[in-house]
Amino acid sequence: MRHLSLHVVGVGFDNKKGPTRRFEIEICKPGEPVELRPEPRNPADPNAIAVYSVRGIQIGYLRAERAPLIGSAMRKGVVNAIFQKSETWGATIRAHLDGTEPVLPDPADSRASDWPPPGSEDADWWPDEEWPD
């Protein structure tokens, strides 16, 4: 069973039409569905996966480090995702890679966030499960 919280980045870029990504993130509600759309023709990254709100408005992209894993899971079966929360740098979504319906994680669960956060200087650091800071 694979349940992940994933960061949505690229929210500062404009959508071709409709509201801005940041505006759309601000009206998303925790628990509402989001759609993941692979973009194999994306010139910046053929593994890119765009994230769309329940209203069909793009809110950003999954981080490049996570896109290959999620894309592979999407090709093998059903990946379901929901909006988890707005962040200062973008948003976090919750995805279940096993076809089950995602649920919001307990906020105290250290796995409720993708890691490392965008812009982190130390990609190898991970929060300690026994002694959370």
Q: pLDDT value at position 34?
A: 98
Rg, C-alpha atoms of the chain: 14
Q: pLDDT value at position 84?
A: 96
CA dist 88 and 37 (Å) reads: 23
CA dist 96 and 42 (Å) reads: 24
Residue with tokens 């949505």: 8
What does pTM read for this prediction? 0.83
CA dist 6 and 62 (Å) reads: 7
Break the chain into its structural domains and give their ranges. Answer: 3-105
* pLDDT, one tens digit for every residue, the chain (133 residues): 588 999 999 999 999 988 999 999 999 999 999 999 999 999 999 999 999 999 999 999 999 999 999 999 999 999 999 999 999 989 999 999 999 999 998 877 766 676 555 555 555 544 555 554 4
Dihedrals phi, psi of 21, to nearest 5 degrees: -65, -45
Question: Beta strands 33-38 and 3-9: pairing type?
Answer: unpaired
| The listed CATH number (3.20.20.220, 3.40.50.300, 3.40.50.360, 3.30.70.2330) that belongs to domain 3-105 | 3.30.70.2330
| Angle, vertex CA 73, rays to CA 71 and CA 76, nearest 5 | 110
